[in-house]
Amino acid sequence: MSNGTKPLVGILMGSDSDWPMMHDVVKTLATFGVSHEVRVLSAHRTPDLASDYSKRASRRGIKVIIAAAGGAAHLAGVIASHTILPVIGVPIKGGALNGIDALLATIQMPAGIPVATVTLGSAGAVNAAILAVQILAVDKPMLSKKLLEYKVALKGKVISGNAKVQSELKK
């Protein structure tokens, strides 16, 4: 988001092939007006760049990092090992195990190196963005208000969906 404000959320991907999924993070953060930046960094192919990013993120104003990777999926853990910022891991579906390997690699962190891990698929990308907004909202009342409005809208969708199903049942 390049609206002139410093990014609060860093969005990292292990490969540009993760972009179609991670675009949902960008769209969701934009909905809440949260500034962000996006980078492709690999825990294995560019370890020095990944380490450097995580070490400097806080000094640049980043408050939360969202890191997505498939396969071995070590990006979130490597990032978390070099920063005190909250890190949210998004395991990417694909490969021989359809993302289960990425999920396990993202959640299996040693004590002291936490990575909040969301689900596989597009719901995971959206949930990572929402979790980042919730973290930021702790001291940003305007974001808290937007989150409450978001939850009300979700409730409205369920109520509307129920009414539609009930209407169909009466036919």
- The shares of helix, strand and coil residues in the chain, as percent rounded to the nearest 5, are 55, 15, 35
Domain boundaries, the chain: 9-139, 141-171
In this prediction the pTM is: 0.93
- The arrangement of strands across the sheet holding 87-91 comes to 36-40, 9-13, 64-69, 87-91, 116-117
Scan for tokens 């999920």, then name that residue: 103
Scan for tokens 């002139």, then name that residue: 4
Which pLDDT tens digits describe the chain residue by residue (171 residues)?
545 689 999 999 999 999 999 999 999 999 999 999 999 999 999 999 999 999 999 999 999 999 999 988 899 999 999 999 999 999 999 888 999 999 999 999 999 999 999 999 899 999 999 999 999 999 999 999 999 999 999 999 999 999 999 999 988
Distance CA 67, CA 106 (A): 10
Q: For 9-139, which CATH class?
A: alpha beta
